[in-house]
Amino acid sequence: MATPSDASPTYVYKLIPSSAAPPDPLPDRLPVSDLDRASNFIHLSTAHQIPNTLKFFFKDDPKVHILRIPYGPLEKNIKWEDPKAEVCGPRGGEGMFPHLYNEFKLGRDEVESVQAWERGDEGWDEALRAAEAWLVY
């Protein structure tokens, strides 16, 4: 399915709480989160969507791991879907979210790089500023 905009992203991102930190080196397949298993797909974000994903779903996590995943090789398995507002309310301006439908295959062959971000006293803003060059919008 095509992206909802004119241009495909270079990368999509998977956010993982510190309690489920990915092993180093990455395995062939990462463990699947309860949310992903219940949804029957892997939840991903674009760089533009990461700030609110952190705000709504990782507000109490002291640290997260962000997986940077090249979009091109996974494009045929990604569906762009509107997030349901049941969990965190409407997420205006964020557009459609990339959801990976590939039998939960996400591991070393798909992930280009990983960063660990720590939440500061004021939330995730400092970590986002520090990662500005790494995030590709």
What is the structure's pLDDT at 1?
47
Helix intervals (H) in the chain: 34-39, 50-57, 125-130
CB 95 within 8 A of CB 47: no
Domain segments of the chain: what residues? 11-130
What is the structure's pLDDT at 126?
96
8 vs 3: CA distance, rounded Å? 6
Q: Which residues of the chain have pLDDT under 70?
A: 1-6, 84-94
What is the structure's pLDDT at 95?
81
Q: Domain 11-130 class?
A: alpha beta
Order of strands, sheet of 42-43, starting from the edge strand that comes earlier in the sequence: 42-43, 97-100, 78-81
Segment 107-137, tens digit of pLDDT = 999 999 999 999 999 899 999 999 999 999 8
51: tokens are 């700030």
| Continuous segment of H or E residues that includes residue 43 | strand 42-43
Taking alpha carbons only, the member of 18, 7, 110 closest to residue 67 is 110
What is the structure's pLDDT at 28?
96
pTM: 0.90
